């Protein structure tokens, strides 16, 4: 299969290229990092890139928190306009297979259960509560403490920042493309991806990158809130393997199929910081109590559908992955 990988020179995209080639496919990287003319927002360039292509892995995006609105137009331009241009070019070229780099951020807060009211959806956390160090969402009905759980793909979307909103819009565009063309579309909703080639010292990197960069400078990782935020840290090679599995398995025509893509092993951010510090032989993390507006407290999802339907399973465990990441090569901004 000849596969165009947008963002193919990036952190995740480069691993997708490697995995495709290891699986016997022809992977064609398409990335403005390597060619300034390879911009998915350029209709003519996108059309040229699709010549002879059987499928597309769409990894190109502007990533990051997107917690304000000052850069909203840039996020929409790169993520949503870029996706729309690419999909229009695919329709014109007759390319009918797409795997999209989705994100778990479309859910907003994760799943919470109240002892009295069952599953509830707390709203955004109040600034006053965060300033007071009250980080856990409470039941919106009775104010009781909540128990976090795993989010399934059928949970309602509730994006809490600009970046999350653009990732959800990408899925809607892909669904519209699939209905219009009869194409096969899959969105892999990535969790917190980490591993070799992760970018360093950039506002668009994940928390694992910030911790690793601090340790490389001999500094203690600074852990926001109380460090008990739950996440699912999934290794980049496992994410790349999920892309190959989605391409090879195909998907129903005319619809968008969504899969959560995580390790299935929730860990707290504090745990991750301590594991990485230990693997690097660096100073212990410092819990600061700081916070970022737009961050959610807990988000971990159920990835069993991906395992059951595509036969995928993660191969890199948390401890081994952190040991590898402690010495793995990283990229500049």
Burial bucket for residue 6 (CB in 10 Å: 0-12, 13-18, 19+): buried
What amino acid positions are annotated as catalytic residues? 163
Closest by Cα among 250, 226, 241, 173 to 1: 250
DSSP tag of 126 = P
Burial bucket for residue 242 (CB in 10 Å: 0-12, 13-18, 19+): buried
* Structure-derived torsion over alpha carbons of residues 259, 263, 267, 271, reported in degrees to the nearest 10: -140
Length of the chain: 333
Burial bucket for residue 188 (CB in 10 Å: 0-12, 13-18, 19+): buried
**What is 190-231 written as a DSSP string?**
E-EEE-TT-B-S-TTS-HHHHHHHHHHTTPPPEE-TTS--EE
């Amino acid at each position: 299969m000849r596969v165009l990988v947008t963002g193919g020179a990036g952190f995740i995209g480069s691993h997708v290229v490697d995995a495709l080639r290891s699986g016997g496919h022809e992977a064609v990287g398409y990335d403005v990092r390597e060619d300034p003319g390879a911009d998915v927002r350029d209709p003519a360039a996108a059309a040229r890139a699709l010549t002879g292509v059987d499928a597309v892995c769409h990894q190109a995006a502007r990533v990051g928190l997107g917690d304000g609105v000052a850069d909203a137009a840039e996020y929409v331009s790169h993520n949503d306009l870029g996706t729309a241009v690419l999909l229009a070019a695919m329709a014109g070229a007759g390319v009918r297979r797409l795997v999209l780099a989705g994100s778990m951020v479309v859910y907003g807060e994760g799943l919470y259960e109240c002892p009295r009211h069952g599953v509830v959806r707390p709203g955004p956390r109040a600034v006053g509560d965060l300033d007071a160090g009250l980080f856990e969402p409470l039941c919106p009905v009775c104010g009781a403490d909540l128990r976090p759980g795993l989010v399934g793909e059928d949970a309602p979307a509730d994006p809490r920042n600009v970046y999350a909103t653009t990732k959800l819009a990408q899925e809607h565009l892909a669904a519209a493309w699939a209905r219009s063309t009869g194409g096969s579309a899959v969105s892999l909703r990535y969790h917190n991806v980490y591993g070799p080639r992760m970018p360093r010292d950039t506002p668009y990197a994940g928390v694992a990158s910030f911790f690793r960069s601090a340790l490389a400078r001999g500094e203690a990782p600074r852990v926001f809130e109380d460090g008990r935020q739950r996440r699912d840290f999934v290794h980049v090679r496992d994410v790349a393997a999920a892309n190959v599995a989605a391409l090879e398995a195909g998907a129903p025509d005319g619809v968008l199929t969504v899969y959560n893509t995580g390790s299935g092993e929730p860990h707290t951010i504090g745990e991750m910081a301590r594991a990485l510090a230990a693997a690097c032989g660096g100073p212990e993390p410092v819990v600061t109590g700081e916070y970022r507006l737009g961050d959610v407290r807990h988000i971990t999802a159920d990835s069993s559908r991906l395992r059951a339907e595509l036969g995928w399973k993660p191969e890199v465990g948390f401890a081994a992955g952190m040991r590898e990441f402690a010495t793995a090569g990283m990229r500049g901004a």
